[in-house]
Structure 1
C-alpha cells in the first residue's frame, strides 16, 4: 500500500499553483541543493508532561483519543467559557501527519471547520504540494474556540500548550506541522524562528514525533514572498516518509 492515496486532477493543479507561488520553476536544478543545510540551533527534545502534571487535580485529561475528543469540546476544556463554538479536530486519529494551528479563523465558526476561507484554500494547496490532504492529516487547533482578540491569550497559553501536547501524544503522528508563532510557543515553548529549519524531536508516551515549525497560511496571504520559506518547511516535513511505506 502506498504511503499516501493518489491525487486527483484538481489536487495536481492545486499543487502546481502552490509550487509556482513558492518559486519552484524547474523540475531538476543544475546543481544539487541541500534543503536541510539551513543553520539552526541544535534541536532540543520536547517532553510531554506527565499525566499528573498535565492538569489541575480533578480535571485530568482522558487517556484515549476518543474520550479526549469529547472532553476537548466539553465544559472542562480551558476555553469552555469563551463565546462562540468549539471546533473539533478532523482527519484520521491515527494519521502519520498532524497539523496544528493556533486558533480558529473568524469564518471557521460559520463553516464548521478549521482553517476555512482563503487561508483554508491555501492550506489545501500546501498539503497537496507534498502529497497530503485534509483527508490524510489530523488537523486541530491549540484553541478549540476563537479568542475574542483573535490571538491566543498569553495567560492561558501554557495550559493550552499542555492540552495540545497531550493531544499529540494520543495521536502519536510520525510528523507534526506547527503553523504560526503562537502554536510554536504553546507546543515547543519556543518562538518559531528559534526552531525552524530543522526537525525537532517531540517525546511522548507512545514514542517520538518529528516536529516542523512553519508559517500560518494567513501570514502567507499577507506576505506571499514567504511562500518559498514555507515550501522548504513542507519539504522537511515529509522528507524520508516515502521510504516507510506500509
Structure 2
C-alpha cells in the first residue's frame, strides 16, 4: 500500500487567501452591494419629545422663606439620606444679622448650636450688642454627615441652595462660620467691601466657628477683630 499524503489545512487556507488576493478581493464582502464613493448619511435629528426627555427638568425652588425652609427639611433635601437629624434654621424673617455655619454641631439635636459652641456664640453676640432673638441662624447643610465633613460631591448643590436661602433673607450683614460656609461668596469675606449676591447689598465677614474657638482659644482675639468689622453700624 502506498503512503497516505498528509494534508496540511494551513497550507490550503493560505493558498485560498492568496487566490482571492490575486483576484483583487482584499476586504470582507457583504451580500448587498455598496457604493464606496457615496457620502455617509447624516444622523436624523432627534425628535423634540426625545430631546426634552433627555434634558433634566428645570428645578423651581420655593420662593417664600417659610416654604423653602419646609422644603429643605423634607424628603427632597440632599441631606434626607444621611440618617442624621435635619435641624431647621431659626430667627426672624428680617434679622439684624444672618449667621451661616457649615453644618450642625455633633451635640445638636433640635436647634443649631445648642451645646458649648452655642454658649460661646451667645457671648460673641452679646459682645456686639445682639442676642439670638435678633439674628437668623442657618447652616450650609441642615444635617451633620457621619464623617463630620460636608461631602465634596454634594457641596456645590448645598451652596446653590444656601444662596437661594440667603436671597430670600436679603441680609444686610452676614457672618460666616468656617471655610465651607465662606464658599457661599465668590470673593473674600473680610468686610472690606459690600457683596451684591443675594439681591441686596450685604456686608459679609467670615470667621472661625465657635467649636474651633473652643479647641483653639488663642484664635479668639482674631475672631473678635472680625466681629468688630461686622458690627460697625449695627446700632
- Do they superpose with TM above 0.5? yes
CA offsets, 1:69-128, max 9 Å, x none? 11110111121111111101101011121000100111102xx11012111100110011
Moved over 4 A (4+): none
Contact 1:87/1:113 (8 A) holds in 2: yes
Aligned-partner SS, 2:81: coil
The 3-state SS of whatever aligns with 1:198 is: strand
2:220 to 218, 227, 232: 227
The structural deviation recorded for 1:182 is 1.1
In the alignment, what sits opposite 1:203? 197
Aligned to 2:127: 129
* Alignment partners' CA distance in 1, 2:210 and 2:57: 37
Report if aligned partners of 1:142, 1:161 keep a CA contact under 8 Å in 2: yes
The corresponding residue for 1:218 is 211
Q: Distance in 2 between the 1:200 and 1:225 partners? A: 29
How many angstroms apart in 2 are the aligned matches of 1:137 and 1:240? 15
Distance (whole Å) between structure 2 residues aligned to residue 113 and residue 202 of structure 1: 29
Contact 2:191 2:203 in 1 (8 A): no
TM-fit CA distance, 1:188: 1.6
Match of 1:42 in 2: none
Gaps of 5+ in 1: 1-55
Count matched residues.
180
Deviation per CA, 1:203-235, whole angstroms, max 9, x where unpaired? 223x22211111100111111111111001111
* TM-score, normalising length: structure 2: 0.72
Query: Is the 2:125–2:131 contact (alpha carbons within 8 Å) kept by the matching residues of 1?
Result: yes
Q: Give the distance between the partners of 1:223 and 1:234, measured in 2 at CA.
A: 17
Asked whether the 8 Å contact 1:202–1:211 carries over to 2, the reply is: no
Mapping of residues 1-246 of structure 1, within 5 Å: 57=57, 59-109=59-109, 112-185=110-183, 187-189=184-186, 195-196=189-190, 198-205=192-199, 207-242=200-235
Q: SS of 2:80's equivalent?
A: coil
Give RMSD over aligned pairs: 1.6
Q: Contact (CA 8 Å) 2:63, 2:168: kept in 1 or not?
A: yes
3-state SS, counterpart of residue 159 of structure 2: helix
Instruction: Work out whether residues 103 and 144 of structure 1, in 8 Å CA contact, stay in contact via their aligned partners in 2.
Output: yes
Checking the alignment, whether the CA contact within 8 Å between 2:104 and 2:141 is kept in structure 1 is: yes
TM-score normalised to structure 1 length: 0.69
SS of 2:206's equivalent in the other structure is strand
- By relative contact order (CA 8 Å, sep 6+), the higher-ranking structure is 1
